[in-house]
Structure 1
């Protein structure tokens, strides 16, 4: 059993493209039909692989923290551009 954190980067037709968190270099491709949770791009998840199946757990706290950090950086950039 192998478990890692990933960010959902994008959907390409019927394939979900996940990037290993936090480096976001290594990809994991999963057929959307095999996913039992509804996800949107940018979601951070923990994926456990076991016997060719995937268990995907959404990490709500990490998503919230990351989105707040990004929003704070955007606000800082806006202030510096004025």
Structure 2
């Protein structure tokens, strides 16, 4: 059985990458670093296809940039509000 879902790379802990399933980001997926075929960075939004043997991971660059811009704008609004 194969599934294809979107995740955010939350962090690395030891030998594992910890992904949070989007959009709620309450369910975790742990993938061993040796199973990561591509380079991913904290905060990257990715599409993961699990075919039961391997993980096919694709970084969704446009969504990642859009999310980072949205967070930067929110942080700027908070800074201005607290002046």
Using structure 1 for the length normalisation, give the TM-score. Answer: 0.96
Q: Where in structure 2 are the equivalents of 1:6-45 lying within 5 Å?
A: 6-45=7-46
Q: Which runs of 4+ in 1 moved over 4 A?
A: none
Output one character per residue of 1:44-78: Cα deviation in whole Å (capped at 9) or x when no partner. Answer: 00000113210000000000100000000011011
Q: How many residues align?
A: 82
In structure 1, the gaps of 5 or more residues are none
Give 1:22 deviation, angstroms: 1.1
In structure 2, the gaps of 5 or more residues are none
Using structure 2 for the length normalisation, give the TM-score. Answer: 0.95
1:70 maps to which residue?
71
